[in-house]
A and B are shown apart, each in its own frame.
Chain A
Amino acid sequence: FKSLVGKDVVVELKNDLSICGTLHSVDQYLNIKLTDISVTDPEKYPHMLSVKNCFIRGSVVRYVQLPADEVDTQLLQDAARKEAMQQKQ
């Protein structure tokens, strides 16, 4: 995630809210700060219009949509596999 700071991401929350914005920062709990946010899906977007900066608590995040070309999916898969192996133990 830290390598994505400065990139545009879409955060989908567990209450169906989708927010597009620039990733400002992220911490170990996956709390996310977005700047210059905008609407992605108008239907799932309550009247929270034109917010500049927002802080999203990690526990309410359902998905974080990453731009495909920003992520080395092979590397991500390997890392996830390795971590899953470690966790099984």
Chain B
Amino acid sequence: MVLLKNLQPPTEGVRHEQAETTAVMDGQRLGCGTLYVAETRLSWFDSSGLGFSLEYPSIGLHAISRDVSAYPQEHLYVMVNGKLNSEKAADDDDDDHDGSSDEIRFVPSDKAALESMFSAMCECQALHPDPEDDDSDNDFEGEEYDVEEAEHGHADIPTFYTCDEGLSALTQEGQATLERLEGMLAQSVAQQYHMAGVRTEETKAEFEDGMEVDTAAMEAGQFEDADVEHW
């Protein structure tokens, strides 16, 4: 048995409202009612005020089914993750072994409305992204995080940037330090030509790395006399 709750239909942010829509849950006809596609959730209520609502994160898939031979009427198919009721868990035979999914079909009397019902649901799904994200797909987000961490850090300028993108993500402090160091490098480079002459390219690469940034800042002045090999 499906447990229908007496809830209020959503009043705000209703993207689409479809009256005379029959809901079929796992093969069980719930009767004729009104489907509300709201920005907060998806709801359906029959004439007596009983109905159910679905949170968008629980909706795994929705689709328009048009093949009359498969199902007698064109309808909106919705696949829901997880169980709607814990009671059903014991009874249901049709489920997959993994991830339990429930199927709901919304059969509107107006078939032409299926497209707009579908589109409204797509839009609302986009409003409810999943909170858990193992990886950040957006490179943009990744870079922003790094900059934030850099700002919170001490004089420890982000030391890990080896590629070009890293340079652009340096904080203002980092940029200033980089410029200062490059100036100092230019001075010591001139001297190195006299002394070793070979290491210039390597040292420049190391500066980009940023690893040596802090220590180099302090010791660069000392290098006028000392060995180049500290680099």
Contacts and interface: CB of A to CB of B under 8 A. Distances in A.
Q: How large is the interface on A (under 10, 10 to 19, 20 to 34, 35 or more residues)?
A: 20 to 34
A14 B121 CA distance: 21
A31 B137 contact: no
Given A28-B137, A59-B130, A50 B125 contact: no
Interface string A46-85: 1111111111111110000000000000000000001100
B153 interface: no
19 contacts: A13-B61, A15-B99, A16-B99, A17-B61, A27-B126, A29-B130, A30-B137, A46-B96, A46-B101, A48-B79, A49-B71, A50-B70, A51-B63, A51-B64, A51-B65, A51-B66, A53-B64, A54-B77, A60-B61
A38 to B, nearest CB: 11
A58 B213 CA distance: 42
Contact of A53 (B70, B98, B118, B137): B118
Interface string B95-120: 01111110100000000000000100
A16 to B, nearest CB: 5
A87 interface: yes
Contact of A57 (B61, B163, B165): B61
B142 A87 contact: yes
Nearest to A51: B63
Given A28-B137, A48-B103, A49-B71, A59 B57 contact: yes
B81 A60 contact: yes
A15 B97 CA distance: 8
Contact of A83 (B77, B125, B139): B139
